[in-house]
Each structure stands twice: as structure tokens, then as C-alpha cells.
Structure 1
Amino acid sequence: MVGVKSRTLITALSLAVSLAVGSAQAQDLKIGVRAGPEAMDPHYMALGHQIAAIKNIYEALVTFDENLQIAPGLAESWKPINDTTWEFTLRPNVKFHNGEPLTAEDVKFSLDRVPGAAGPDGGLVINTRNITHVEVTGPLTVQVATSVANPALPQDLARVSILPHSIGKATVEDFNSGKAAIGTGPFKFAGFKARTGFDVTRNDDYWGGKADWDKVSFTEISNDAARVAALLSKRVDVVNYVPFSDVEKMRRNHDVSVVQGQSIYIFLLYPDQRAHSDLVTDKAGKPLDVNPLSKPQVREALSLAIDRTAIADRALEGFAKPANQLIDDKFFGALPTPPKLEYNVAKARQLLADAGYPDGFKLPLHCTSDRFPGDGATCTALGQMFARIGIDTQVNALSRTVFVPARTRGDYIMTMAGWGSVSGEAGYTLSSIAHTNDKSKGLGAFNVSHVSNPKSDELIATAMRTLDNDQRKQLFQQAMTSTLDNYDIIPVVQLSSVWASRANTVTFTPRVDEETLPFFIHPVAKK
């Protein structure tokens, strides 16, 4: 969320929505979302839909604009004091929703709280992994010390909401009931029901100016057809994640406006590299002595089997493009000209034979069916493509509520999931999913596929503590190349984002992180 309402927005597509401005109803906004928050504790989970929801109520020290450029949040400035210490200066006269003033004590409390508040996906521990202590140096200043140099600490803290220290040892239930759901954001908590939705009301004392809406209701509608139907029947005003199969039809509907934007989210394939798993069998169903996915030749064969252009153009109806690396090409640390990943079935079959599997093998592939548009369709297409090279693949497209905790437990042998580098640079992605899981260093926090590449590890760890921008960029690029060359994680396609709304009454600028933030949705009459 951009900190100040009047900040100039970077030019982008605008979305028109139809509402009767001027009536009492015109000040209410109803949004249908594919996925809502799992809880109202802002430190509980790190999934994108969770972060997008809580941003309406809570804020962090720094924030990102719609293109993931860093901007001031609750901190008006920040600077490094030395190689391992950053100082943040807070905005004056900011109040929490309960009337308490924002102070440096609240920042210390919030950063210290993160490890103990983590939910099933590890929460925001990765964002605070290097913090050793937080020192209050004045009513509005804090110094954050880290175990190693951390040039990206401000970006890391952009997802860590600041809470009033007066909530003490509040539980998840305290947040869900509203008792502890106290932030500084443009809206106040007004109600929440898991997997159903949540309501917020305008914070008239918001430091960034008043929002245009008295009340905003978010309704979780995970079924794509039902979400579109809710828009067409005027039960909601805006929906996110329009199913790609409906986009052209909705564009022809004069009662609906549609906008498309580039997304940072990429479907990635995660072959689990553990040495053995009973989930991988021969064609007769007998578990193999060695997990084939632990062999680089087999992982390369998987990549060669993927027709990325076909997935983008057919399974995703043109609302995606082939991905050749783990992050958006424009982000800091990305390869400027990544090698195009080849599609070659014959070569893939030969690699399997060379690896000792001339007859292939069997395994399950797990993914979500309700987190991103086309996730289930992409998973199905991958299963069919792997079958062509002799890998019999059982596709299991599941609800995210089943998939996420099971994947975190290590229940799956190969998964496909959407991933976005929400910090706008390579460090977040590489340190999270491409580094060996090392809890003592806070690295590999989301490495659920047992990736352990010593060359990548050294490059990533060095980059994360390198202060010189040019050197850090080169190290990230080398780590990206190492990860791709070893096929530790396999890029598939990068998505587009599509919203739709009732026609002709509000505007907003699409965000590359796909967040739908009502503070930046405005009635047309107020342009």
C-alpha cells in the first residue's frame, strides 16, 4: 500500500466500476475475492492473499507501490548506521485505531513478536530472520540490529505489520474476534469469518487521508463461476482473478469493465530431491529404491517435457507467457537475458533412459485448484506432458486449505505452485526456496522440496550480506543460473492478472502483486 493517498501513481490501466455516487449506498464497496485471509493476525501467514487482506487494517514501516518500488510507510525515513544496524524514524502523530499513539515501543514489540506468531506456512519469520535485537533509541526512532549485513532489510520489513504493544500476548482468536485487530491503516476491523469474508469501516483519523468508502465488504468466493455470477448479478462491485475462459465474453458485456495487468506470480514446478520416497514407484506400483527426482538428468527431462508456449496459449488462454527464470525479468538480480527453456520430448526420453529409467516411472503431482486462475488447468497439462515422456502422473488439484499445510509437512513428492518475489528483487526468492533449509540462518524457509545445492547456497548467502549493489546483483544472477542449471526448481509460466467490475463508476490502478486495495479504488465522480 502506498503511504500517502495523494502520491502520484505510475501510469497504468484504469478500471471502471459502476456505482451510484451520491447516495448512501455509494459509500459502500463490495469486493469478491478468490481467496480471503485465513486469520486476522497479520503475523500468522505469508501467503499473498493473506497479506493483501490485512493491509487494509495494518501497516508496516515501509511499503511498496503498485510496481513494487519501495516507499515510506509508518517510517518516514531509514538509513544504515553501520553494516549490521538500520535506524528507522517513525512518522509523528500516527494513531492506532484504539486512539493510542504509534511509538518506537510498538515497533520493537511487533518485530519481536513475529517468530512466536507464525502459522502453518512459517509466517513472516523469513522477513525477520537476521534480526538479533531491536533497540528503542527515542520515542519515534528504533535501531534494528542484524546478525549479518542485510542491505534488503527495509524491503524485508515491508510485510511486517506494526501492532500496539498494549495487545500483549494476544492470540489468533483475539485477532479474529476483533479484540486485538488494531492497526493504523485506512480501515478498521468490523468483522471476520474464516473462508467466508471480512468487513472493514473507514478510519476517519488515518494519517494518509480518508478513504472514499464508509464500509468495504470482502466476500470469499473461491469458485470462479460463482464469483463471476456474483458480479453479473450485482451482489459485488469488483472481483479479482477473473477466470481466463470468461474474459473475452465479459469484455463484450457493456455492464462490465475488465482490466488486465502483468503479474509477478510464476507457476513453478518443485521436484522433491529427498533420497527416497514411497510415493515414486515403477509402472507396477513398486516403490523405487532411489527417488528419480534426486537426479539432475530426471529433473532436466521434466523441464524438457514442458511445452510452455502451449500452456500459456491454450491452458491459460493467452493470459500468461513462458517463464525462463524464477522471478520477473525486470527485478533486481534477475538474469537480463535468461536462456529460453527448451521443449524436446525426444531428448527428455533419452535423459530418462540415461538416468536408468527407460520405461519411466509413476508419481503424483499436487497443486492448488483455487489459489490462482488456471492453476488446476496448468497442473493437468503438466501431467499430460510428463506422460508423453513415460512418467505416469496422477494429478491432484486441491483446495489451498488442504494443499498448503500438507506441502509444508512434506507430504508431497512433486508440486506446482504460484510464487512471486514480493520484495521486487531476487533475494527474497532465492533465499526462501532455492537455499538449503537452514533454520539457524533463516534461509530456505519455504524450501519444501529438499533443494540443497552447495554452489547456489554460497552465492545466495554471500549476496544477502553484500552491501555493494552491483556485486550483489551479480551474485544473485550467478545463483539464479546455478539453480536453473541444476533444475532445482523449474519455471513454467508467468501469469497475467485480470479484474472485472460493474461498469462506469470507479477507477484504480492494477498492482503487479495482484492486491486489490480499496483505499486506491475511487468513485469516478471523485476523479
Structure 2
Amino acid sequence: MPRRLAAALLFALLVVLTPAMAQAFVWARSGDALTLDPHVANEGPTVALVQNIYEGLTERDRTGRLGPLLAVSWRMLLEDPTVWEFKLRGDVTFQDGSRFSADDVVFSYHRAMQPNSGFRDYLASVVAIEKIDDLTVRIRTRGPSPTFIENTPTIFVMSKDWAERHGAVQIPDEATSEANFANAHTNGTGAFVLVSRQPYVRTELKRNDAYWNRGHIPLGIAELTYRPISHANARVAALLAGSVDFLQDVPIQDLPRLHAQSNLTVTSGVENRTVFLGFDVASPAPRGTQAGGRNPFADIRVRRAISIAIDRDQIQRAVMRGEALPSGLIISPLVNGWTSELDTPPPFAPGRARELLAEAGYPEGFSTTVYCPNDRYAYDEETCRALVPMLARVGIRLTVVAQPQAAQSQALRRMPGPGFFLAGWGSPTYDSEQVFSSLYHSRDGQRGFYNATGYSDPQVDALIGRLSSEIDPSQREAIVARLWQKLRGELIYLPLYHQTLSYAMKEAYDIPVDVSNTPKLKLVAAPSR
């Protein structure tokens, strides 16, 4: 970035931070939340912000361990293993002062199952949600579902009365527009209350002084300002200037400099996320591809050629600067179903890649476009640009279209989606079933919400359906292994690397890396003065 542009960006950043804001805890990262509606976008920055306002029946700690939140206990009924029963807390109120009850849970789970919800895949097995009394809810699934509890941290609870009063019961087609009251207004049970929101500029929150769990957690932040800053240089400059307290998306190239600052703290760790490439394998003519009127990605030989034309070790060294682990599977080692054998990356073999392309009928290669976010993952755009010379070596002429995650996310929801794209996935349930259900299952209105590839296999769909009701652990593990063996070979997605994380902050704070990259800011203590 030219020095003059960097200076201008920093000046603009400092100008918008008023004295009142400067006293708040300022949290910066590369991209904004897509919405404040808790049931719309199953997307990292959105969930990371919204979790400060809304809460689920359960939650995961920084290491991924499941624990109680709005529910004090749960069990799968012995007399009917298709039913999960939840006992709720009786001392919880929403931020408008109304009392939380089973009615709100029933309402929220039904709302999260609507067609425009990004979380409906998590509830695909649910057939009924019933209030037993004010503090008891039962959820019935199509068959015994021993892992259903793993889905519950992702379903946030809204106030039924509030949603009804404000016309927010239904999630409209334009879920991030003014047509959806919940897009820019909130009423949760969480530790922070919304004060104001300017999309892509800032979101201001304040501590919920009536928070039901305040006496058991630090909750040391009184005012919280969320700042999306897309330019890496501007983010780091703001941290160094003291205008930002906590920087979540730390540019990898700046880590040595930040480590050397005596007034800063840097924490690092593994993230439950894998970055990969995906293809439109179903459309006759994928968007952004010119290949003689055919869809080259429908041919597994082409997908295999692209996979072995990519030097993942070079991406790790030259692009990610060691802050990544080359992968052969689109789930991280933290997810059930991962094995080191499955995760072995394919060999880099450009010569064989050229042979495969010729066998598939593309001896001269073809032209295509890769669609990438430029504000979502560490070096996402740079990773895509590193692919250009690699694929050129085998005859594939690649154009990179880099766009904000908001546009990328919308494009991936449409069918047909981008012909060739970069994405990332971290399984919130820490189980392969959720990945299968969201990314590989046919789009059928219940599962496959994030399957932008057009891939559809009835046998795969049937096996995924069996997973949700298999209660024998050994049988379930066998199905997971069978699915990964098949799907890894299909190469619908090409794994690139597992991502690692670093956070940087003022020395007064110590915020460990959260494996889901959703830092729990309610656990941050007030700095000592």
C-alpha cells in the first residue's frame, strides 16, 4: 500500500474515534458482521459479534468444550430416545426486562428452521419442539440423535414477544435489509446491549448491568466498540497508535513487529477452520469459465489436476509464512472424524496434472475465474493470487475476483454459485455430521444450505441422514469414515490448509485464542490501572 494511502486511512480511522469512543474497549477485525439477526448468517464474524448479545441453551468455552448456558441441564429420555429434554434457568431476563421462558426457546428454534435461516441444517432432524412448562422444553428428532446436543450452542434465543411486536417472526428473503427488524435491532439475554450500529463502520455495545450471570464472570468491559477495518496496514497502525485495544485479524507479516512491542500482548493458537477451494460441478457453463462450452469441473480428472497442480507447501511458506498447516481434508484435527491418513495432502505433481487435463479433453487448458473473499481469512486474496502461476504452469488461465465476504457469502447462497471459489469452514459442533449436512448434502430445504457446488448424490444423502439417528458409537464412526473415504475421493472441495490464529492487544489485556475464533469478551477483566 502506498505510504500516502496508509497515512490517509490511519487519519480517517483516528478522526472517527471520538473521545467518548476512545474510552471504550475497541475491538477491530478485517470484516463486519453481515447482520445482527441471530438466525440468518452462519458466518464467523457475524456469530462472533452476535454472541455478545444473544445466547444459546449451551455454549463452548475457548477450547471448544461444551457447557450449560440458558439451560441448566439436559438429557435424552431413556423411555423415548428421540426426545431431548432441557431444563432452563429461572433467573434470566432479556435486555428489555422481560423474563426468559420456554416459550422463547420454542419460538427461536422454530424461527431458526425457516427457509432463510443459515442455521436450519443444525435442526434438520427436528420434527417437534414442545413446551412442557415455563422452564422445560422437549425437542423430538426423527430418530434417536445422540449428538443433537452439539448443535445447541449455535441456536441463539430471541424474545418471542419482542419479535412478534416488531414484525420479526419471519425471516424475509432480504434478511439483511430494513425489511427485517432484527437485522439492526436486538433484544437478547447476553452480556452486552446494542447501543448503535453503522454497518461496515462500527457497532457500539454497552455492558448489560442486569446480566443474569454477571456475578460469575469478569465482565470487565463497560463499553464495547466493534470496528471493521479492511486494510491490514490500517488495522495494525490503529493498534500501534492506541486507538484499538484488541485486534482479532492480525496480518501475518506484522507478527514479528507486534511481538517486539513491549506495550502489546500477542496470543496464538490453533483454529477449528480449514480453507479450501470449491467447484460448481453441476452447471452446464459455470460462471467465469470459458472451456469450449463445457463444464470442466464436472470431470473429476480436471478437479484432480487442479489439486495436484497446487503447491500447498509453497502457500504455507510464501503466503501464510508458516501460520498454516497444509491439509488433505476440509475438517481440522479438532473435529470428530479426522484422521492423519485422510488429512495427508496430495503430492505436488504439475506434470501429471497436464496429463490429466489432456485426458479430460483440455490439452491446451482453459480459462476460469476464482472468486475469493478479501476480508475474511488471513491472506485469503493473497492465497488466490498465489494460485495464478501454479495453474498457469499446467495451462489453466486464472483470473482472481476478490470481494468482501458479504458479497462472497451472497454469491455462494445463489444457485448456480461461482464456478470456482475459495471458502473456509470450521465445524461449530466439532463433528463431521455438520460438515456433511451443510456442505455435501443436496440442497433440499433442510440440509445443504451452504452447498454451492451443485453436488448431489442420493447414496451420500442417505448416509448423512443415518448419522443423525445412529446411537451406536462404533456404527456411527463407521458411517463417518465411509463418507469421508468417498467424499475425499470426489474432490468436490480441494483442501488447502488448516488455519492458525493470533490475537494482538494492549498489554493490559490477556485474551487467549478461541479455537472457534469467537472470542468471549464477557470473560475479559477490567485492566488494572
Do they fold alike, i.e. is TM over 0.5?
A: yes
Contact 2:286 2:418 in 1 (8 A): no
Distance 2:271 2:479 in 1: 25
Deviation at residue 414 of structure 1 after TM alignment: 0.6
Which residue number in structure 2 is paired with residue 417 of structure 1? 423
Match of 1:509 among 507, 512, 517: 512
Alignment coverage as a number of residue pairs: 491
In structure 1, the gaps of 5 or more residues are 1-23
Which amino acid letter does the alignment assign opposite residue 246 of structure 1? D
Residue type at the aligned position of 2:471: L
Structure-2 separation of matches of 1:177 and 1:273: 36
The answer to whether structure 1 residue 175 and structure 2 residue 175 are counterparts is no
Question: Distance in 2 between the 1:334 and 1:480 partners?
Answer: 9
Change (3 A) 1:72 1:278: closer
Once the two structures are TM-superposed, the CA of residue 307 in structure 1 deviates from its matched residue by: 0.8
Q: What's 1:8 paired with? A: none
Matches within 5 A, 1:340-489: 340-409=345-414, 410-439=416-445, 442-489=446-493
**Which residue does the alignment assign to 1:13?**
none
Q: Secondary structure at the match of 1:135?
A: strand
Post-superposition shift, 1:329? 1.8
Task: Give the secondary-structure state (helix, strand or coil) at the position aligned to 2:335.
Answer: coil
Report the CA distance between 1:61 and its aligned residue: 0.6
Structure 1 residue 116: deviation in Å?
4.0
Given the alignment, which residue of 221, 233, 240 partners 1:225?
233
Shift of 1:500: 0.9
Q: TM-score under structure 1 normalisation?
A: 0.89
Matched, 1:137 2:132: yes
For the pair 1:250 / 2:258, whether they are aligned, the reply is: yes
Rounded to whole Å, the distance in 2 between the matches of 1:278 and 1:57 is 40
Partner Cα distance (2:300, 2:378) in 1 = 30
> Does structure 2 conserve the Cα–Cα contact (< 8 Å) formed by 1:69 and 1:424?
no
Between the aligned partners of 1:227 and 1:275, the Cα distance in structure 2 is 40
Identity of aligned residues (%): 28
Residue 168 of structure 1 aligns to a residue in which SS?
A: helix
1:330 paired with 2:330, answer no
* Residue of structure 2 equivalent to 1:95: 93
Q: Is 1:29–1:217's contact at 8 Å kept on the other side of the alignment?
A: yes
Is residue 2:161 matched to residue 1:161?
Answer: no
1:320 aligns with 2:327: no
Out of 46, 56, 61, the residue aligned to residue 50 of structure 1 is 46
Equivalent residues of 1:509, 1:520 under 8 A apart: no
1:36 to 32, 37, 42: 32
* In 1: Cα distance, 2:319 partner to 2:258 partner: 19
Matches of 2:402 and 2:245, distance apart in 1: 29
2:75 equivalent to 1:71: no
Do 1:185 and 1:206's aligned partners in 2 also have CA atoms closer than 8 Å? yes
CA distance, structure 2, for counterparts of residue 357 and residue 60 of structure 1: 51
**Structure 2 length-normalised TM:** 0.88
- Displacement, 1:117? 7.9
Once structures 1 and 2 are overlaid, which stretch shifts more, 366-375 or 254-263?
A: 254-263
* 3-state secondary structure, aligned to 2:214: coil
Q: Kindly state the Cα deviation for residue 192 of structure 1 after the two structures are TM-superposed.
A: 1.3
Asked whether the equivalents of residues 265 and 509 of structure 2 are also in contact (C-alpha less than 8 Å), the reply is: no
Measure the CA separation in 2 of the matches of 1:133 and 1:243.
46
Gaps of 5+ in 2: 1-19, 169-177
Tell me by how many angstroms 1:518 deviates: 1.5
Matches of 2:345 and 2:203, distance apart in 1: 43
Distance in 2 of aligned mates of 1:37 and 1:117:
21
Quick one: distance in 2 between partners of 1:375 and 1:71? Answer: 33
Distance 2:21 2:193 in 1: 19
Which range is displaced more, 50-59 or 322-331? 322-331
Match 2:285 to one of 258, 268, 277: 277
TM-aligned CA distance change 1:478 to 1:177, over 3 Å:
closer
Question: What are the within-5 Å matches in structure 2 for residues 203-218 of structure 1?
Answer: 203-210=208-215, 211-218=219-226
Distance 1:305 1:36 in 2: 34
| Kept after mapping to 2: 8 A contact 1:435/1:443 | yes
